[in-house]
Amino acid sequence: MRILHLLAQRPGFTGSGVYLQSIVRLADADGHQQAVLCGIPAREAVSFEVKNQPELSPVFFESAKLRFPVVGMSNVMPYKSTRYDQLKGKKLKRWMKVFTAQITKAVIEFQPDIILSHHTWLLSAIARQIAPGLPFCMINHGTALRQVKFCPEITAYILPHLCKSDLVYALNQIQKDNLVKEFQIDPEKIKITGNGYNENIFYPGLHKQGKIRKLVYAGKIAYAKGLWELLMSLIALSDSGTEFELTMCGSGSGEELDDIMFLVEKCPFPVKITGNISQNELADIFRASDIFILPSYYEGLPLVLIEALACGLQVIVNDLPGIRKWLGKAVCSSKMIDFVSLPRLDDVYSPLSEDILSYCQRLTKTIGKRLVTKSPQVDLSKEIKKFSWLEVFNRMKQYW
């Protein structure tokens, strides 16, 4: 089968980019021919860890055709980017014209048997119109459901086209319900596939708990990830008598990064920010750490959570909608994971100011208990294996 993959932003830097790389890897091993259309900065090279490199159809940003940075599905990306609510007027028309031309070219030259388009958003709406006769599958990562709040004009444009997709892959039941509500997509077309991890990279190590407890976060350096509240909670624990250090794996940009860095400099405990790193580097850091903390206010399904559990880490995570059902009873009832109740959130999933203090108190208490608890010896390998990318890929392809 000839598969054309579509992603409007950079592969590898976000959850959808990792998803793309993983599906390309497994489809190559399964014997499929592939092409990838993606949005990248000018002069950036893209490659995949596969035997047969897919044909590439890049759309270059910060170039003569598109002079602005890559447009990202999140309002804060781990690299210099443009927001969709900034994509208006001539800029929007130009973006649509360039992507329309490149998709058309890829369809004509590659002649795919199926199109897999990441995000239930603008790129997918354009692609569905270009190739109405081809089997067309969208992969929802959750961020489009947030963009609806910020971009009503784009939402109005895409609705008539997204519902014409043949299949939509959702991460969980909550996403499926929201896709029906927000995009009027036939629920029969929506299949729940979950999210995956690479079991060849993320696995337990031989790390032993030392005197200094090693905490780790992985994701974007942004407000929505709850990092300001995490740092404030850790500052409150700095005189608890337990030594600890924090590694923040990821990068950010703009004012949010500057604000968080300002607070980092005030922390009375060691904090390291790695910037963008490879999955192999992340796995090595996980295996050398004790506790993974994800204080994010909004996630589709946090893949990094599974990756941390696969490396044997204790985990502290916000009690995000759908997360317990996704993880399953065996994981949730194990001694490896603690859930922290969320503060109330507004329409764009930001915490209400009057709830932040009580949330920080809950987070501080939970981390404090983990800091003084010996690492539990719980084998979750059988449960975690169910979340491998191979399982996700097999669930996807059964509908092709």
Q: What is the DSSP string of 139-161?
A: E--SHHHHHHHH-HHHHHHHHHH
- Please tell me whether residues 19 and 138 are part of one structural domain: yes
- Please tell me whether residues 94 and 50 are part of one structural domain: yes
Domain boundary among 192, 226, 248: 192
Is residue 243 included in any domain, yes or no? yes
**Domains in the chain, number:** 2
Q: What is the pTM of this model?
A: 0.81
Is residue 40 included in any domain, yes or no? yes
**250-265 pLDDT tens trace:** 988 888 999 999 999 9
- Please tell me whether residues 368 and 262 are part of one structural domain: yes
Residue 209 has pLDDT above 80, yes or no: no
Above pLDDT 70, what percent of the chain?
Answer: 99
Is residue 349 included in any domain, yes or no? yes
In this structure, are residues 271 and 296 in contact, taking their beta carbons and an 8 Å threshold?
A: no
**55-108 pLDDT tens trace:** 999 999 999 999 999 999 988 888 899 999 999 999 999 999 999 999 999 999
Is residue 134 included in any domain, yes or no? yes
Domain boundary among 192, 226, 246: 192
Q: Phi/psi class of residue 233: alpha, beta or left (left: φ > 0; alpha: ψ in -120 to 50)?
A: alpha
- Please tell me whether residues 134 and 228 are part of one structural domain: no
**112-126 pLDDT tens trace:** 999 999 999 999 999
- H or E element that contains 26: helix 15-29
Counting beta carbons within 10 angstroms of the beta carbon of residue 89, is it exposed (0 to 12), middle (13 to 18) or buried (19 or more)?
exposed
Domain CATH for 375: 3.40.50.2000
Q: In this structure, is the dihedral angle defined by the CA atoms of residues 293, 295, 301 and 302, taken in order, positive or negative?
A: negative
CA proximity to 218, closest of 105, 328, 288, 307: 307
- Please tell me whether residues 365 and 312 are part of one structural domain: yes
Domain residues for the domain of 362 are: 213-384
